[in-house]
Amino acid sequence: MMMYYLVVVTVVYLSIIDKLSGRSIELPQYKIVYSESDFEVRLYPECSWMSALVTLPTNSFQNSTKQGFHRLYQYIHGANLNSTKIPISAPILTTIIINNNVNSSVQGLDYYVRLYLSTKYDKATPKPLQDLNLKLNKWKSHCIAIRKFSGFAEDDNIDKEVESLKNSLNKSHQVLTMVDNKNSSSSGSNSYTIAQYNSSHHHSGITGRLNEVWINVVSGFTAQGCPFYQEE
């Protein structure tokens, strides 16, 4: 069995609840289908994300997330063909893709920063202005393995959190046969991730911040309702 490793660094530049205005921030719905002490598996329905590709020579997760979010911020504040103001949502995802070129000793990284779009935009999604270089991604229903951690998601700690989730999955007998430890694909690339549900300036103590590592479940957990999933 295989699991395509997708670490979606859910760098959340916003709070789940906006305490200043008192309004709730929308999140994608999900159902928990499996849980252990240090991770859980969630089933997400079909959902839409606006995506910003960021390629930087520094290979910095933090800098790439800031750059991608800046473009998404412009989009939701009217930089679209309808000049529509779109409510902020959570989480903001940063997907890190490792490109392994067999003809090169250099390992490249691509970053996709994503903003969740409310279901009310499913039939008529405002198109971003062309110079923002954004793309609409429609995800099929699939399961995601999740690990939570506190503090800030930063360049010097995200790899450790990703490895912790992989180790937990490998130690779990039920999940073991569903993980592809080689983490490879026919295109020669693989990916990994991390998460936060607070604004970058939210400082209510280290333990008051929520982050998550996401890894896509490709196959397995069919008895719990997880469909076979292939990353597009």
Block means of pLDDT (10 residues each) for the chain, 232 residues, are 44 40 76 94 95 85 92 97 94 84 61 94 95 96 91 91 89 56 43 75 62 85 80 63
Residue 16 lies in a domain: no
Q: Name the phi and psi angles at 163, rounded to 5.
A: -65, -35
46 located within any domain:
yes
For the record, the structure tokens of 116 come out as: 């969740």
The answer to whether residue 43 sits within a structural domain is yes
Asked if residue 30 is part of any domain, the answer here is yes
The answer as to whether 97 is a domain residue is yes
CA distance 197 to 154: 14
Task: Count structural domains, the chain.
Answer: 1
For 148-197, how does the pLDDT look when each residue is reduced to its tens digit (9 = 90+)? Answer: 988 889 999 999 999 999 889 888 766 544 444 444 333 334 777 777 78
Q: Which amino acid is at 219?
A: S
Asked if the structure places residue 31 within a domain, the reply is: yes
Claim: this prediction has a pTM higher than 0.75: yes
Nearest to 72 by CA among 45, 99, 54: 54
Residue type at 144? I
CATH of the domain at 144: 3.20.80.10
Residue 160 lies in a domain: yes
Using a pLDDT cut of 90, give the percent of the chain over it: 45
Asked whether residue 7 is domain-assigned, the answer is no
Q: Which domain holds residue 137?
A: 26-200+208-216
